[in-house]
Structure 1
Amino acid sequence: MTSVVPPTIGIDFGTTNTVVSMTYGDGPARLVRFPTTEGDLFAFRSALSFHNLQGQGGEANERVVEAGPWAIEAYLEDPLETRFIQSFKSFAASAAFTETRILNKRYLFEDLLAAFLLKVREHAGEAMADLPPRVIVGRPVTFAGGNPDEALALQRYEAAFARLGFTDIRYAYEPVGAAFFFARQLKQDATVLVADFGGGTSDFSLVRFERESDGTLRSTPLSHSGVGVAGDAFDYRIIDQLVSPALGKGSLYRAFDNRLPIPQRYYTAFARWDQLALLRASRDMRDIRSLEKTALEPEKISRLIEVLDDNHGYALYRAVSGLKEALSARDRATFRFEAGSILIEQEVERTSFQGWIAPELTAIETAVDQALARANLPPQQVDRVFLTGGSSFVPAVREIFYRRFAADRIESGGEFESIASGLALIGRETDLGLWTMQAAVSPAA
């Protein structure tokens, strides 16, 4: 009697984008697509919006929640009445983040993630109408943040994914998912290093793939490493160099007879897109407004207030992303951030950008070497290198691998789909314990 392979689902909840893939029987992994007016998409932006309806005749604190491109659309239509949050995965493992209040409602991290996932399911329509009990969720090797609490992050994930009805929630390292995706094209046995560059983390896994006599592909995990810096950290370096000085960083204010520097903490919020959204509703906002009266360059503080009050974070994100993309293709590009009354424009050399991100490049390079050391493998014994994720296009990042591996061993691709598709394929493995983990402590119901 032929056994029936149950459907499996893999979800890559990313800092920038979220991708869902499913398998049916022993068929290939297929991406879940989301119909929009401009065509179907499968990379669903990891963003939330909370739109206040009170000014449109709604009840006090009545809100409409949206996610993905619909969240962006809601924000662009009415930025002053819309709370827009992106990159919120970055504080999944932060014990310091306990809650945020949006339109006088309290949201824990798991509330934000659950709201996001429910909208993902809603916009997927029939494709996610009947979900299997088991889900394989991607997780970074090292969560983002200064002192990440892995157990806390997985407990929060557990609570959120359970609200979709999943009863068997398992977690697999994101680069391992990418390795399973990449393994489809292997023609012979190979040791593969996968480097996954997301928005919040850079993760690395070494996996050995061997073909059995019956054609079955057997895989063995060798090592993992990761570091909590990636694309968002690169963004912060651009902002710190090009934008923050125009918003008052490094300038002074008067306090009685003294001249004091503007507090740096107002600008460290720009290190993470989620914190930028939260700063707008924080106590610091009152202090920033008062600084405008005593600043020696009040016009700069006025710009900072406008960026926060008028919710220009998304426009800033677009400008920074555009510069990174341009500098990946050219030696020089123009940075241009225009929003409201603000215009910041400057020519940037690729070499300057590479100097700004030197600390992150060093951390990434160290993590690559850690993966090799933990597997006790020299670079010459790695047969294939697979680079995936948006920041893999940054020339200085790619150079880390060209210095260690022959160019003909390095490949890239599947920047959006590789992890989710691989996670769904992992869900069909007979020994799931070899590839996945579960939350150490189940959250309270």
Structure 2
Amino acid sequence: MTAAPAPTIGVDFGTTNTVISLTHGDDRARLVRFTLDHRELFAFRSALSFHSLQGQGGAPDERVIEAGPWAIEAYLEDPLETRFIQSFKTFAASQAFTETRILNKRYQFEDLLAAFLLRLKDHAAGQLDDLPPRVIVGRPVTFAGGAPNEALALTRYEEAFRRLGFSDIRYAYEPVGAAFFFARQLKRDATVLVADFGGGTSDFSLVRFERDTDGTLRSTPLSRSGVGLAGDAFDYRIIDQLVSPELGKGSDYRSFSNNLPIPQRYYAAFARWDQLALLRASKDMRDIRALERTALEPDKIAALIEVLDGNHGYALYRSVSSLKEALSSQAEARFHFEAGSVHIEKTVARTEFESWIAPELSAIENAVGEALVQAGLTETGVDRVFLTGGSSFVPAVREIFLRRFGAEKIESGGEFESIASGLALIGREKDLDLWTMRAPR
């Protein structure tokens, strides 16, 4: 009797969300689900919070660590006593990031990732007990950052996953995981372009899929390309166009007899809502408060101060996400942000939004072209195009592929689960070296 295949686990550790998928000795991948406030979810926010207990009589270095949506809740409940970190995947390949100090304790990247994974496991309520020794971890084609060190990132991943008890840790490109998820539906051999849009990166892989006479699915990687931007960059464009000007960006203040521009660096923090609390705690905040007295438009600086003092970053993020989602299905939508006395409302046409993100769209299209050139193919040589990830819903992003490849070749589905499920299913393959890699020694 042939032994049943061992259970496998795939981990899609994303910039915005993390998704876990399991097989139980069969050819079906099942997502790990979490319960929060009687709601079931499988996309676990890639966030951490460290809450100080000093104000509640605890020791100065005593802390409660939370992850996912529970981290967001902890931060919103007590932002002044909570250090909140999200999108920390963007630091994985950064040599400049060596450690961060949180409540008098040093944390390296692998410490943050291990803490995150351990809390995720706790919230899985038994679904991740008795883990198999092997895990297939997704990795981007191009890590985020100006000069990403791929080997450093994988070494950091390795250390974090070993702390969970894994002894056989393998890595697969995230779009390859998505490709495997999709390729199992193919009826014939095909060359597939997979476009994976995450929060921080957009990755593209061209893969040739063929089946042997015994039905075994084999792949030949043809090319890979990527660019370190995606959904987060779209969000920032919305904030930069709609919100920051209402909070003083582009206006002037009076210095002696001169009019000078409000420093742009105050608004760079809006690229990530959790950074606003750090801005409030920085020395820049004293200067911002002083600007209200000399600004030519003091009401706008007062609004900026109120947004920062009131810790309204998360509410802003929700408003931006709602607009982006609405513009995916409507020609125009209403942006609405209200926090305290700050009220920003404007109707936005989809064409406006597309003009704001034009630089990102151009970079994405260039990366697609690069993948084709590397593979020595033109658009006619691609049989199927599989779009996955949240930003694949943005019409202007889809239009790139519709225009270049034609609607008949475009496939989508499982936009948030395809990578994790594909990774878990790859773990069942007889020859894992065809699909995966190990961290450098």
Determine if contact 2:21/2:30 at 8 Å carries over to the other structure. Answer: yes
1:275, CA displacement in angstroms? 4.3
C-alpha change, 1:295 and 1:437, in structure 2 (3 Å) is farther
Within 5 A, what are the aligned runs for 1:393-432? 393-432=393-432
Residue 13 of structure 2 aligns with which residue? 13
C-alpha change, 1:123 and 1:335, in structure 2 (3 Å) is same
Within 5 A, what are the aligned runs for 1:61-76? 61-76=61-76
Within 5 A, what are the aligned runs for 1:327-366? 327-366=327-366
C-alpha change, 1:80 and 1:34, in structure 2 (3 Å) is same
Determine if contact 1:80/1:309 at 8 Å carries over to the other structure. Answer: no
Where in structure 1 are there 5+ consecutive unaligned residues? none
Within 5 A, what are the aligned runs for 1:112-127? 112-127=112-127
In the alignment, is residue 390 of structure 1 matched against residue 390 of structure 2?
Answer: yes
1:48, CA displacement in angstroms? 1.8
Percent identity over the alignment is 79
Residue 381 of structure 2 aligns with which residue? 381
Determine if contact 2:273/2:316 at 8 Å carries over to the other structure. Answer: no
Residue 22 of structure 1 aligns with which residue? 22
Deviations 1:221-241 (A, max 9, x none): 211111111000000100110
If the length of structure 1 is used for normalisation, what is the TM-score?
A: 0.93
Q: Find the residue that maps to 1:232 and give its secondary structure.
A: helix
Determine if contact 1:79/1:310 at 8 Å carries over to the other structure. Answer: no
Residue 177 of structure 1 aligns with which residue? 177
1:330, CA displacement in angstroms? 0.6
1:273, CA displacement in angstroms? 4.6
In the alignment, is residue 160 of structure 1 matched against residue 160 of structure 2?
Answer: yes
Residue 95 of structure 1 aligns with which residue? 95
Residue 250 of structure 1 aligns with which residue? 250
Determine if contact 1:87/1:274 at 8 Å carries over to the other structure. Answer: no
Determine if contact 1:195/1:387 at 8 Å carries over to the other structure. Answer: yes
Determine if contact 1:11/1:21 at 8 Å carries over to the other structure. Answer: yes
1:163, CA displacement in angstroms? 1.9
If the length of structure 2 is used for normalisation, what is the TM-score?
A: 0.93
Q: Find the residue that maps to 1:143 and give its secondary structure.
A: coil
CA distance in 1, matches of 2:63, 2:428: 40
Determine if contact 1:177/1:422 at 8 Å carries over to the other structure. Answer: yes
**One-letter amino acid of the counterpart of residue 116, structure 1:** F
**One-letter amino acid of the counterpart of residue 323, structure 1:** L
Determine if contact 1:90/1:274 at 8 Å carries over to the other structure. Answer: no
When the two chains are superposed, the root-mean-square deviation of aligned CA atoms in Å is: 2.1
Deviations 1:79-126 (A, max 9, x none): 444333322222322333333333343333222222211111111122
Determine if contact 2:93/2:148 at 8 Å carries over to the other structure. Answer: yes
**One-letter amino acid of the counterpart of residue 141, structure 2:** V
C-alpha change, 1:432 and 1:308, in structure 2 (3 Å) is farther
Residue 83 of structure 2 aligns with which residue? 83
Where in structure 2 are there 5+ consecutive unaligned residues? none
Deviations 1:127-169 (A, max 9, x none): 1111222211111111222332323322222222222122222
Deviations 1:326-362 (A, max 9, x none): 1111111111112233221111111010000000000
Q: Find the residue that maps to 2:411 and give its secondary structure.
A: strand
Deviates more, 1:316-325 or 1:212-221: 212-221
Determine if contact 1:90/1:272 at 8 Å carries over to the other structure. Answer: no
C-alpha change, 1:104 and 1:311, in structure 2 (3 Å) is farther
1:397, CA displacement in angstroms? 0.4
- Number of positions where the alignment pairs a residue of Structure 1 with one of Structure 2: 441
Residue 223 of structure 2 aligns with which residue? 223
C-alpha change, 1:274 and 1:36, in structure 2 (3 Å) is closer
Deviations 1:16-66 (A, max 9, x none): 111001122243221111233323321111122223333334333532221
CA distance in 1, matches of 2:340, 2:88: 25
Residue 300 of structure 1 aligns with which residue? 300
CA distance in 1, matches of 2:97, 2:282: 13
CA distance in 2, matches of 1:101, 1:7: 38
Determine if contact 1:140/1:203 at 8 Å carries over to the other structure. Answer: yes
Q: Find the residue that maps to 1:127 and give its secondary structure.
A: coil
Q: Find the residue that maps to 2:184 and give its secondary structure.
A: helix
Q: Find the residue that maps to 1:145 and give its secondary structure.
A: coil
Deviates more, 1:400-409 or 1:360-369: 400-409
1:319, CA displacement in angstroms? 0.7
